[in-house]
Amino acid sequence: MTKFKLLLHCAAFNFLLSACGSQHSNTSSSHLNSSQSKLCFRSEADFNPNASFTEMRDNAYWMAVASKLTYLDDQSRDSILERKFGKSYIYSFEEKGLTFDTQGYAARLESEKGNSTLIVFRGSHEMTDYVTDINLIPVPFYGIDENGRQDPKKFLGYVHKGFLTSLDSVWNQLYKVVQNTQDPIFLTGHSMGGAIATLASARLMSAKNRFNVRGVFTFGSPRVGGTDFFDTMARLSTYESRIFRFVNADDAISVMPSVPMLPYVPTWWHVGELQWFDATGRLYSNSAAYERATTTIWTKRISTDWVYDHIMAGYLKKLEKLIYPKMAECQGI
């Protein structure tokens, strides 16, 4: 691929994420930060850390809520977590550098349905994040040893340098949170946050049976690695440790990066089980309908749907309608 095509691809990636970032700022607080919200959720659909695979769809809604909260201030986030997830012990993390700005939070949740640990990464929001997004040089990614350090003997594949740099910047903080837990661990994130959550889950899963990674939920995540990483994740993720990758209609970020980076990544791959919403909100749990839709994304004229379908509020709205059909009759979160 010519340098011009590579620069054009990166510019498009940067533009789309920048537009989405401004939308996050404008919509997050109005949708979530309301102390007067009337609760009308079915009690049986509350977050359940011990849910079976067939019940995981309900948990997807709560993971979307958790991901949306990363765009709020800490006080608003903590208040909503306490109300929606039960008693919470929350740890915020943030590390900034010249090419990254990694933010998110970890929370130990206590409820009648069981305890769990939640790790959430924020999506692209600041200018530095967009530098991270386009830093797509493939680099080797390794699992961890018994002390949480990278183990060169555990090669997991070639992955996106920007996303791995972001994870590495906060890894020591996160490891201290989970190193002694026996609770089910859930990881989630939107956009770039979903990509980082995927890498974090791979690192935890690489520690054999030490961590109980119960579920990974990503929303509008870009591709993370090459074929070798895809093969590794297919081996590491078991029936009890599923990765659910949600894509909303024409979300353009979900088909990026698409630039081959030879020789290590001739093709970028997603990992996990696709859950695709069409424009009407119907959910497909297979790739056929999604492939038919996305193969024509780049041949369509430039559309605002590319941006709006990526915004976290759109994912949350469709999950609300799916899980709670009568949501429109009362205020949400």
Confidence label for 64 from pLDDT (cuts 50, 70 and 90): very high
Q: Please give the average per-residue pLDDT across 83-96, as a whole number.
A: 86
User: Residue 39 maps to which CATH number?
Assistant: 3.40.50.1820
Q: What is the mean pLDDT of the chain?
A: 79
Euclidean distance between CA atoms 201 and 171, whole angstroms: 12
What total of structural domains would you count in the chain? 1
- Report how far apart, in Å, the C-alpha atoms of 243 and of each of 74, 149, 219, 246, 303 are: 27, 23, 11, 10, 29
Instruction: With a cut of 50, say whether residue 168 has pLDDT above it.
Output: yes
Mean of the pLDDT values across residues 140-155? 94
**CA angle centred on 235, ends 230 and 237, rounded to 5°:** 90
pTM of the full structure: 0.83
Q: Please report the pLDDT score of residue 255 as a whole number.
A: 85
pLDDT band for 37, please (50, 70, 90 cuts). very low
In the prediction, which pLDDT does 133 show?
A: 55
Q: Which two tokens stand for residue 289?
A: 């309908």
What pLDDT is attached to residue 288?
A: 65
The answer, yes or no, to whether residue 250 has pLDDT greater than 80, is: yes
Query: In whole angstroms, what is the distance from residue 230 CA to residue 269 CA?
Result: 6
- Residue-number span of the structural domain to which 35 is assigned: 3-329
CB 189 within 8 A of CB 121: yes
Alpha-carbon torsion, ordered 208, 64, 111, 86, to 10 deg: 130
Compute CA distances 171 → 24, 95, 123, 197, 239, whole Å: 25, 10, 17, 11, 26
Burial 198-231 (b: 16+ CB within 10 A, else e): bbbbbbbbbbeeebbbbbbbbbbbbbbbbebbbe
Burial of residue 79 (number of CB atoms within 10 Å: 0-12, 13-18, 19+)? middle
Question: For the residues 121-141, what does the mean pLDDT come to?
Answer: 71
pLDDT at 293: 59
